């Protein structure tokens, strides 16, 4: 690990830095290993958009696509093989981090198909399938925090499978996610699983909240409304940390922790700044607290390394101010409930679009590989 950098300071403050990106090229070039060695990266998250981008470049996948085409693999099977191979290889690269941190970090996440977001049984079935296919203890299965997803989270945790709960936007849904995790741990304990091997993060989205709320504030147009722009994302996440602190100091949670369970850490997702007029480290330096993960696009990682000013803690003393921001938004007529419901629906829809792009990319690649093989015969 590099010493005396803003990234090292972030790690020292208790923030686990995960990269929000993965590709075959990063794996085979040594680029991923280099980020571990030089930039304090201790985990990776993926999603359908990331894989669609990686596969669209394609060169690093050409040999595998050709082999899959020759074997007669369907598009769905090919996507399953390609993505789980990447996650397995990345998990191996991160295994020393996993061992060194006792399983807390060194994690690589892979998401269930987004079309299953409102299908609890289908999500649970695919979570088990992905876990078995990747076959690495430091993998995490990403499950969206839809209402239906809550039951799947409990069922998956109950099987001893580590889960990254994604697409959390509201404080109430965050509480429900924590409850689903604790319920899963209780079932896992009853089934005889070793609770110490089960880990989970709750991925709370940040910048998307500002993007949606800023549009509404601009439409309102008053001086008071404009003054609230780009404050909600950080405030919402800071209050999510308060929810985390409260939930894991409860008698229920403490009993499970005493039995070996781990806390479900908050993970700050969507931390790339969308508005170029804002500081590019806004969603990093304002969300520093112990026992959190910040999953960053590489651009945000590099910006933090270059000029991030990292406080010891920018969350736990900010609850009153954060509550004041949400109260002021309500006074301006911005509905928190509506915003978070819209964002959840949009989040699922965007991942479905990316998933379909991924299927189309692989379909074209398989067809091209078959055509090349055929012309060579």
Closest among 82, 15, 25, 18 to 48, alpha carbons compared? 82
Q: Which secondary-structure segment (H or E) carries 62?
A: helix 62-71
CA-based torsion, 182, 185, 187, 189: positive or negative = negative
CB atoms within 10 A of CB 371: 11
Exactly one of 39, 142, 231, 263 is catalytic; name it: 142
Q: Is residue 103 classed as helix, strand or coil in its secondary structure? A: coil
CA distance 37 to 30: 11
- Total number of residues shown for the chain: 377
- Token pair belonging to 69: 């085409």
Clarify whether 142 is annotated catalytic: yes
Closest-CA residue to 22 (of 89, 67, 105, 99): 89
> In terms of Cα–Cα distance, which of 317, 115, 278, 289 is closest to 204?
289
**Cα–Cα distances in Å, from 162 out to 143, 157, 280?**
11, 6, 31
Nearest to 166 by CA among 182, 188, 186, 150: 150
How far is the C-alpha of 207 from the C-alpha of 347, rounded, in Å?
12
Evaluated on CA atoms 352, 358, 359, 361, the torsion sign reads positive
d(CA 196, CA 193) in angstroms, rounded, equals 9
Q: Say how far apart CA 73 and CA 115 lie, in whole Å.
A: 21
Residues annotated as catalytic (active site), given as ranges: 142
């Amino acid at each position: 690990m590099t010493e005396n950098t803003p990234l090292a300071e972030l790690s020292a403050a208790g923030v686990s830095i995960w990269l929000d990106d993965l590709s075959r090229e990063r794996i085979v070039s040594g680029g991923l290993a280099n980020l571990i060695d030089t930039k304090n990266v201790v985990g990776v998250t993926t999603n359908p958009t990331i894989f669609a981008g990686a596969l669209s470049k394609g060169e690093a996948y050409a040999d595998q696509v050709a082999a899959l085409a020759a074997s007669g693999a369907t598009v769905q099977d090919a996507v399953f093989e390609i993505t789980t191979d990447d996650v397995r290889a990345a998990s191996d690269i991160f295994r020393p981090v996993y061992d060194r941190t006792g399983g807390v970090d060194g994690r690589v996440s892979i998401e269930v198909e987004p079309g299953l977001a409102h299908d609890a049984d289908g999500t649970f079935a695919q979570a088990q399938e992905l876990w078995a296919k990747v076959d690495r203890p430091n993998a995490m299965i990403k499950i969206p925090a839809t209402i239906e997803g809550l039951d799947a989270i409990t069922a998956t945790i109950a099987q001893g499978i580590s889960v990254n709960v994604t697409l959390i936007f509201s404080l109430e849904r965050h509480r429900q996610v924590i409850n689903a995790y604790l319920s899963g741990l209780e079932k896992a304990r009853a089934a005889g699983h070793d609770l110490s091997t089960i880990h989970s993060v709750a991925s709370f989205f940040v910048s998307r909240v500002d993007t949606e709320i800023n549009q509404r504030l601009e439409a309102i147009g008053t001086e008071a409304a404009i003054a609230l722009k780009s404050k909600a994302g950080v405030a919402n996440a800071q209050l999510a940390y308060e929810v985390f602190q409260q939930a894991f100091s409860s008698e229920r949670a403490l009993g499970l922790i005493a039995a070996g369970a781990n806390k479900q850490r908050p993970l700050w997702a969507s931390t790339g700044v969308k508005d170029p007029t804002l500081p590019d480290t806004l969603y990093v330096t304002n969300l520093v607290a112990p026992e959190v993960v910040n999953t960053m696009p590489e651009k945000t990682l590099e910006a933090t390394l270059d000029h991030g000013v990292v406080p010891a803690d920018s969350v736990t003393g900010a609850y009153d101010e954060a509550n004041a921001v949400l109260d002021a938004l309500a006074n301006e007529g911005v509905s928190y409930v509506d915003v978070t419901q819209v964002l959840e629906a949009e989040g699922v829809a965007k991942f479905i679009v990316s998933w379909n792009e991924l299927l189309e990319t692989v379909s074209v690649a398989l067809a091209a590989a078959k055509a090349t093989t055929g012309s060579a015969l």
